Structure 1
Amino acid sequence: MFTNELLFLSILTLSLLVLLVILLGYLTIRKTVEIRKRKKVERYREIYNPLISSNLIEGVISRKLTPETILQQKAIEQLLSRYTKVIEGEEEKARLARLASMYLSNYYQKQLQSHKWSTRMNTLYHIEDFNMIDLTDDVFRLLNRKRLSHQEIIYILRILALFQCNQLFDLLTTKYQDLTEFDYRHVLIPLEQKKFDQYVLHFHHAGLPLQKAIIDVIASKREVSYNHFLEKIFSSYSGEIRLRALKALAEIGYVKDSAPYLELLYSDKWEERLVAAKLIGSLKEGKAIPRLIELLHDRTWWVRSQAGEAISQFTQGKAILQTVLETSTDPFAKDMAWEWLHKGGE
């Protein structure tokens, strides 16, 4: 019995050793193949780099720049990725997009159909980086694929926005109505004004996350042309949307009539006092200075800080803060005045 057990253990140990040797051999061969591929790609990069450089700078197209294998396409892809980080001129960017379309479009069309999530995502990244508008339809059709990850969906929608796709509005207002505010904002940012205006017109019918995203995109772009829209939203909505509209106006830093916003400096809500102080500071509305000085004594630190910043934006701001520092009996107001005096001097 004992002998049989020893024999069984010996056979099992030997089997495991054989499996380990086979696995080690497989990994060694795989590593060797990968190293060879990498070296080939490096050689192709050395050949293609001057050709691509000449094209981007001078518009010269060489017949030698014709990839016939996947490794050659990989080399071109890597070189173009590097150039996207350094080229700035619009003409050079257009040439890069043309090169990518000429030599990588067919390759990417196949990559988008890959069963691997990482392959599809990497392909989407490159399509965006290279601005490959010719693949818009291929990217759009990818939305029909089953079991797309949330990350893929958002990235696809963002690329469609970047390429100013006409179908995007219907997608966001019908099929994809349950996205987060962050998702919508990420998608809407690349839209040109004419396309973005569709969402502004749709605002009253949109869900809350999309409404917030629309306002935040306006705030980030600081487009004065949307001021009338924002003021209308501010006067007709309540709660978070009203506050978002106020924040957007403060970011833009301009309103036709400051009266409604001067009143907000006395709001019971600290968030409204805060944003109103920011807007009034941008407007440099002199009649608000006494109230801004009072807000240096506000019970909320954020409001005190914004009041200090607003005062510092006035021509006489430093003198006002110095007076508060010397005369106020409120240690919090004195600290805030000192802080913004210091910031103003940095």
Structure 2
Amino acid sequence: MLKNELFFLTILTITILGLLMVLLVYLSIRKAIDIKNRKTIERYIEKHQSNLFTMITEGGYSRRINPESVLEQKAIEELLSRYSNVLEGDDEKKRLSELATMYLAEYYRKLLKSKRWSQRMNTLYHIEDFNLKLLIKDIYMLTTKKQLSHEELIHTLRILALFQYEYLFDMLTSNFNSFSEFEYRHILVRLEQQQFDQFILHFHKSSPPLQKAILDVISIKREISYLPFLESIFSAYKGEIRIRALKALSVIGYVKNTEPYLELLYSTKWEERMVAAKLIGSLKEVKGISRLIELLHDQTWWVRSQAGQSICQFPNGHQILREVLETSNDTFAKDMAWEWLHKGV
């Protein structure tokens, strides 16, 4: 019995050692191949980086640059990635995109069909960085695949938005209508006005997360042309949608009539009082100063803090806060006045 056990243990040990040796040999060979490939890429980069830089900064093309293998395409990709991170001029960015289209478009088209998630994701990032609009149909086709991960789907839609894909509105309102407002916002923020206005026109039919994202994007864009739309949403909606519209108005810093927003300073909802205080500060509406001083005594910290910040935005704001600090009997109001006097705007 003992001999049998020792025999099996010996066989098991030899098998494990054999497997470890095979693994070691495999890793050694893999490492050697990686080192060799890296050297090939480095040589190609060293040979062509000056020519490629000249083509990006001055225009024109060079017959010397003609990547014939995957490694050479990776070298081109690496070079263009380096330059894309530092280029600022529109002409240079356009030339870089043209070169990436010339040398890498077909290579990326194949990688988008890869079974490996990491390869597809890396390819999407490069397509985005190089602005390869030639591949817009390939990007769209990715969204139709069932095995696509959620992260890939969001990224493909963001790229389609960047490329101003004409059917994106239909996709987001019909095929992909269950995203979070955060995900919608990251897609919509890339749209130019003509594409974005489709979502404005159909706002009332949109889901709440999409509605919130639309209002947040308006806040980011700060386009005063959306003022009538925001005021109509403020008047027609209640709850979170109404507050988001109010936030957007406060960021834009302009309204046609301040009276409805002055009344909101007396709202029973602390969120509305807070955002109304922010708007009055942005407008520098002197009619609201007395109420802002009262809101320094509000029971909600967020309201008190916003009231202090808004008061600071008036020319005599610091003087008002000093008077509150010297005359108020409310400890919370005095603390908030002191905080904003020392913080400023």
TM-score bucket (shorter structure): over 0.9
Structure 1 match to 2:119: 119
- In structure 2, distance between residues paired with 1:43 and 1:276: 62
What root-mean-square deviation, in Å, do the aligned CA atoms of Structure 1 and Structure 2 show? 1.1
Structure 2 match to 1:284: 284
Could you tell me how far 1:338 is from its partner in structure 2?
1.0
Could you tell me how far 1:60 is from its partner in structure 2?
3.2
- In structure 2, distance between residues paired with 1:151 and 1:10: 48
**Residue 252 in structure 1 maps to residue 252 in structure 2:** yes
Structure 2 match to 1:37: 37
**Residue 131 in structure 1 maps to residue 138 in structure 2:** no
- In structure 2, distance between residues paired with 1:308 and 1:121: 46
Residue deviations 1:3-29 (CA, integer Å, cap 9, x gap): 333233222222221221111111111
Residue deviations 1:251-286 (CA, integer Å, cap 9, x gap): 111101000000011111111110001100011111
- In structure 1, distance between residues paired with 2:311 and 2:18: 78
Could you tell me how far 1:210 is from its partner in structure 2?
0.7
Residue deviations 1:71-106 (CA, integer Å, cap 9, x gap): 000011111111111100100110010010000001
Q: SS of the counterpart of 2:63? A: coil
Structure 1 match to 2:140: 140
- In structure 1, distance between residues paired with 2:137 and 2:287: 56
* 5+ long unaligned stretches in structure 2: none
Structure 2 match to 1:312: 312
Could you tell me how far 1:142 is from its partner in structure 2?
1.4
Structure 2 match to 1:90: 90
**Residue 175 in structure 1 maps to residue 175 in structure 2:** yes
Could you tell me how far 1:318 is from its partner in structure 2?
1.1
Q: SS of the counterpart of 1:254? A: coil
Q: Aligned AA for 2:210? A: L
Q: Aligned AA for 1:58? A: E
Structure 1 match to 2:79: 79
Residue deviations 1:121-163 (CA, integer Å, cap 9, x gap): 1101100010000110111111222211011111111111100
Structure 2 match to 1:107: 107
Q: Aligned AA for 2:149? A: S
Q: Aligned AA for 1:278? A: K
**Residue 218 in structure 1 maps to residue 254 in structure 2:** no
Residue deviations 1:150-191 (CA, integer Å, cap 9, x gap): 111111111111001111111111111111111111111110
TM-score, structure 2 normalization: 0.98
TM-score, structure 1 normalization: 0.98
**Residue 330 in structure 1 maps to residue 338 in structure 2:** no
Q: Aligned AA for 2:63? A: R
Q: Aligned AA for 1:100? A: A
Q: SS of the counterpart of 1:136? A: helix
User: Counterparts of 1:141-156 in structure 2 under 5 Å?
Assistant: 141-156=141-156
Structure 2 match to 1:48: 48
Could you tell me how far 1:2 is from its partner in structure 2?
2.9
Q: Aligned AA for 1:22? A: V
Q: Aligned AA for 2:50? A: P
Residue deviations 1:283-310 (CA, integer Å, cap 9, x gap): 1111111111111111111111111111
Q: Aligned AA for 2:191? A: L
Task: Percent identity, please.
Answer: 63
Q: SS of the counterpart of 1:154? A: helix
Structure 2 match to 1:28: 28
Could you tell me how far 1:340 is from its partner in structure 2?
1.0
Deviates more, 1:8-17 or 1:145-154: 8-17
- In structure 2, distance between residues paired with 1:108 and 1:294: 61
- In structure 2, distance between residues paired with 1:27 and 1:88: 42
Q: Aligned AA for 2:19? A: L
Q: SS of the counterpart of 2:73? A: helix
- In structure 1, distance between residues paired with 2:190 and 2:16: 56
**Residue 230 in structure 1 maps to residue 230 in structure 2:** yes
- In structure 2, distance between residues paired with 1:175 and 1:7: 63
- In structure 1, distance between residues paired with 2:2 and 2:197: 84
Q: Aligned AA for 2:62? A: S
Aligned pairs, number: 345
* 5+ long unaligned stretches in structure 1: none
Structure 1 match to 2:2: 2
- In structure 1, distance between residues paired with 2:240 and 2:116: 41
